[in-house]
Amino acid sequence: MLRLGVNIDHVATLRQARYRGFDRGEPCPVDAVRQAEDAGAHGITAHLREDRRHILDRDIWAIRDTVQTRLNFEMANTPEMIDIATRLKPEAVCLVPENRAEVTTEGGLDVVGQVDAITEGAATLGQAGVEVSLFIDPDAQQIEATARTGSPFIELHTGAYAEAYGDEARQAAELERLARAAEQAKSLGLSVNAGHGLNYENTRGIFLVPHLNELNIGHSIVSRAITVGLGQAVREMLELMEGYKAG
């Protein structure tokens, strides 16, 4: 079964648009956790960025206390975040790149250029009992480098596929690239998740990519929730994900 991790970052983005600097505000990320899990989400994803632009420290601890399924904590590989993660003890950590100028995460982690640092961070997290994933582009060198770090999971960046909407040839090429990456990762003993830019129109296309365990989807679900409510938005995405065969 293909699992759904619901990323609730943009619930906090909406709150911060009005309540930045306040110790309260709406909508509440913790309420979003409850609604997403009640609707059948298999996990919750939240990214505590270094600049705290959406999820705040108080949020991530409240989310940890609330999650009943599993928490996937997205973070940069920095001493501050490693310290928080080892105390927070999420079920999983996904190491991601951060650029202060970006609106959301753009591109995958450069594992090739940071093998030693990522290996050290992954080892510390693993010793704390946290499952580690690296968010990477579907690139053979990055996958090979990931295997050298000892991280058991990758999360394939599906942004290029999502951005190819309306261009069938380009979409097909990106799906082929993702499929090759998944096959390579599987052959190296890595488990495979995927996410970024997936929505209600392009998610079923991902069925052509083998060996997937989980999709992490946020913006599209939060956007859909404005119209139909978060629970219904999660249920609709789960319905779209039915029938996937890992291969």
Residues with a known catalytic role? 47, 74, 196
Given the structure tokens 């059948």, which residue do they identify? 40
On the 0-12 / 13-18 / 19+ scale of CB atoms within 10 A, 40 is middle
CA angle 142, 172, 201 (to 5 degrees): 100
Q: Which of 231, 239, 201 is closest to 2 using CA atoms? A: 239
| Interatomic CA distance for residues 75 and 86, integer angstroms | 12
- Check: CB of residue 221 under 8 Å from CB of residue 234: yes
Contacts of residue 51, Cβ cutoff 8 Å, sequence gap at least 6: 100
Half-sphere CA count of 222, side-chain side, radius 13 A: 25
Q: Which of 158, 211, 164 is closest to 183 using CA atoms? A: 211
Which pair of structure tokens corresponds to residue 226? Answer: 């404005």
DSSP lists the bridge partners of residue 87 as none
